[in-house]
Structure formats: C-alpha cells, structure tokens
Structure 1
Amino acid sequence: MTDAPDLARAQEVLASQPFSALLGARLTAFGGGEAQLELDIRDNLRQQNGFLHGGVLAYAADNTLTFAAAAVTGTRLLTAGFTIDYLRPAEGELLRAHAQVVRSGRSRVVCRCDLMVVDGQGAERLCAVAQGTISII
C-alpha cells in the first residue's frame, strides 16, 4: 500500500528542511491526498513593491504539492516539475497553500495547489495557482 506518514511525522520532515525553517513554514494539515502549508508574511520576504516575493510563493507551491503527494505515496519523492500562475499581488499577513492529489500512479503523482493570502480579519484571497508532477523514487 503506502508508507504515508501522519501529520506529526510530516511536520518533522518539514522542520528538517533548513530553508523551510528559515522561512518559518508550518504544515497545518496533512492526509488523504491533501496538505496545507502556512507561513507568516514578513517584511524580509517582500519584493521591492511591498508584495510577497514570487519566489516565496513558488517555494510554498513546490513544497505543498510534494507533501500532498506524500500523503498518498509516502516520503520518497522529488518534484519533477511544476508551473505556477501568479493571479494578483500577494498582500496580507499570512500565506496559505493548499494542495491536493489529482492522480497518483506508480511512478508519478500529479497535484494542484491554491495559494491564498489571509488578511488581519481572516479573509482569504487567491493570489496564485500551481500544478506539479511529483516523482516517486
């Protein structure tokens, strides 16, 4: 079947990634072919116009896509590729990325991810979407 970890183990895997720790990323949901990652939007993560940097959005998409795949297949995964479409500038206090498995095969998993910014009142606003292919190694 699968060696998919539970939320606590998946959080340990995220915590072991130095770049994720640097960004302050948190895995807030994991299981059933879905994953959710959050990070606080800080000034040192913004670009020159004051919006969250696109590289941070791409990081969140990449990692969340892979964690969604891990929720089905287990932890031996690598991103084969992904695309991201930036829909609007990311302005808010929190970035929330939610990914889900579209199809899981023997060697690859296809996932999609919605990236939202959350304002101080808790309102979400979609700022980017991504789709990726994750290789099972």
Structure 2
Amino acid sequence: MLDTVRSINQTAAFNRWAGFEVTHAADGEAELRMPWRDEVGQYAGFLHAGLIGAMLDTACGFAASTVAGNVLASHFSVNCLAPAVGRAFVARGRVVKAGRKQVFAVAELFAEGEGDAPPKLVATGSAILVPVPAN
C-alpha cells in the first residue's frame, strides 16, 4: 500500500515541488513529511497557510485512497493552532468513516523542532472526500 500511495504522490507536480514525501500508508491511514525551505514560508518566516492546507488535504486524501481508491475532496476545513515553525512538518491523516459515496477523514500537522524536542501540533483539518472512477 505504501508503494502505491508513493506512486500517486509522484504523479502530482505540486507535491513534487513542495517536497511531500509519503512516510506511511496503511488501511485508512497516511502520513507525509515535508522539510522546511524558504520557498514554503510566508513574510514572518512561518510555514505558509496554503502549504498547511495542502499538507492536511493531501494526508486526508491519501488516507481515504487506502480504503476507497481515487477520491476528490468535496469539503475541506483547516484550523491553524500555532505558528508553524520547524525544520520539517509531518501531516498524519486517518479515515473516520468510509461510506459508499463519501469518506470522512481528519488530519493533524506537526512541526518538528531541533534535537529531542517533541513535535508540536500546529494545525488540524478535516475533509469529506468522494470516490471517483479511475482515469
């Protein structure tokens, strides 16, 4: 399953540009990591909210894809909890409920600090995804 999700990730030019790396995929779960670089920051030096949303959306979508195949988001929401500052960011998505017509998923975004500091929760998100036929 991990290889399949990694392959899907590599087909998305945006994900490649952003540096998303899929680190985990299992039944109803997905995790991705993105290292910090200046191009993903905003004016104050924090991770840009657009990238926060993209990581949460992608983690939800990949988690949903492990149980429903190809999916598209029909609704998505983001909650920014703290400034996103770190050397890397990890988004963990999981399916809450998968139905035939909709998949409900949630994700959390963590900032990895330096050394032994535990990752800090900086944002959460939720998505409703709709299964779609393969191309």
Cα deviation digits, residues 87-122 of structure 1 (max 9, x gap): 000000011000100000001100000100001225
Aligned to 1:102: 96
Q: CA deviation at 1:43?
A: 1.1
Cα deviation digits, residues 12-47 of structure 1 (max 9, x gap): 110110000001100000012000011001111110
Tell me, which stretches of 5 or more residues in structure 1 are unaligned? 1-5
2:47 pairs with one of 49, 52, 64:
52
Which portions of structure 1, spanning 4 or more consecutive aligned residues, are displaced by more than 4 angstroms?
Answer: none
**Paired AA for residue 41 in structure 2:** R
Q: CA deviation at 1:66?
A: 0.4
Aligned to 2:127: 132
Aligned to 1:70: 65
**Paired AA for residue 43 in structure 2:** Q
**Paired AA for residue 119 in structure 1:** G
Over the matched positions of the two proteins, sequence identity in percent amounts to 28
Query: RMSD across aligned C-alpha pairs, in angstroms?
Result: 0.8
Q: CA deviation at 1:72?
A: 1.0
C-alpha distance in 2 between matches for 1:132 and 1:11: 20
Aligned to 1:87: 81
Contact conserved, 1:38 with 1:95, CA < 8 A, in 2?
yes
Give the TM-score, by structure 1 length.
0.93
Cα deviation digits, residues 32-71 of structure 1 (max 9, x gap): 2000011001111110001010000000011110000011
Give the TM-score, by structure 2 length.
0.94
Secondary structure in structure 2 of the residue aligned to 1:56: helix
Secondary structure in structure 1 of the residue aligned to 2:82: coil
Which shifted more, 114-123 or 60-69? 114-123
1:15 and 2:10 correspond: yes
Cα deviation digits, residues 72-95 of structure 1 (max 9, x gap): 112x21111110000000000011
C-alpha distance in 2 between matches for 1:16 and 1:100: 22
Q: How many residues align?
A: 131
